[in-house]
């Protein structure tokens, strides 16, 4: 049965653990989409910890971008797709540009990725759980790139919340129902 759940919160709020709990409780085949890339030893450790935290029988697709295509091309029956996380997906797109470019071009690429993901969701009979950070509650970033990132992720989260059947906001490991 097609349904989308968005799990949002701040850093270390329990988003991933709660999303994994939802996936386990679904009793469905789980396709885990990992968007993180190991660019340094600290990130390698984070990725290793994430891998250890999820069941070994889950199918993992490591895809820093092009999520819709990755899921659509993955052979599976009706499943639960757990995307962890939109935060890094938007960051991956932002840093994929080697030179300074206009905000419009970056936003176009981010929303192309998002629309592809949403189209894939509508085409398949999978349940989706998407993890994303809420980055709009803190201070205004000091640099233009940080502000662009915050603004883009905020817009992405709004669109995902609109499409989602359920939205949770995580605070200190506790899920608050938003929608």
- Retrieve residue 30's tokens: 């789980």
Residue-wise pLDDT for 72-128, tens only, equals 988 887 799 999 999 999 999 998 987 778 899 999 999 999 999 999 999 998 999
Q: Which domain holds residue 36?
A: 3-177
User: Per the residue annotation, which of 50, 59, 76, 122 is the catalytic one?
Assistant: 50
Domain CATH code at residue 119: 3.40.50.300
Q: Determine whether 50 is an active site residue.
A: yes
Residue 8 β-bridge partners: 132, 169
Q: Residues 3, 128: contact at Cβ < 8 Å?
A: yes
Number of C-alpha atoms within 13 angstroms, CB side, residue 84?
A: 24
Mean predicted confidence (pLDDT) in 37-47: 77
- Dihedrals φ, ψ of 60, to 5°? -115, 130
- Our CA dihedral for 21, 171, 169, 36, rounded to 10 degrees, sits at -60
Task: Please check the confidence at residue 52 and state whether its pLDDT lies above 90.
Answer: no
Rounded distance between C-alpha atoms, residue 58 and residue 52, angstroms: 12
- Number of independent structural domains in the chain: 1
Q: Residues 6, 168: contact at Cβ < 8 Å?
A: yes
Residue 82 β-bridge partners: 32, 129
Q: How confident is the model at residue 53 (pLDDT cuts 50, 70, 90)?
A: confident
How many residues are present in the chain?
179
Rounded distance between C-alpha atoms, residue 102 and residue 130, angstroms: 28
Q: What SS3 class is residue 129?
A: strand
Task: Please check the confidence at residue 154 and state whether its pLDDT lies above 90.
Answer: yes
Given this model, what pLDDT does residue 25 score? 96
């Amino acid at each position: 049965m097609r349904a989308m759940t968005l799990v949002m919160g701040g850093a270390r709020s329990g988003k991933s653990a709660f999303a994994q709990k939802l996936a386990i409780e679904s009793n469905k085949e789980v396709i885990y989409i990992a968007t993180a890339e190991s660019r340094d030893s600290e990130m390698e450790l984070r990725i290793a910890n994430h891998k250890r935290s999820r069941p070994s029988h889950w199918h993992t697709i490591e895809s820093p971008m092009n999520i819709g295509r990755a899921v659509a091309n993955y052979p599976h029956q009706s499943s639960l797709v757990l995307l962890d996380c939109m935060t890094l997906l938007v960051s991956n797109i932002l840093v994929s540009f080697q030179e300074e470019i206009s905000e419009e071009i970056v936003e176009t690429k981010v929303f192309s990725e998002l629309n592809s993901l949403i189209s894939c969701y509508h085409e398949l009979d999978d349940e989706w759980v998407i993890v994303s950070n809420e980055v709009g509650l803190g201070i205004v970033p000091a640099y233009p790139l940080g502000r662009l990132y915050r603004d883009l992720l905020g817009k992405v989260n709004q669109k995902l919340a609109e499409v989602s059947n359920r939205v949770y906001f995580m605070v200190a490991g506790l899920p608050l129902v938003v929608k």
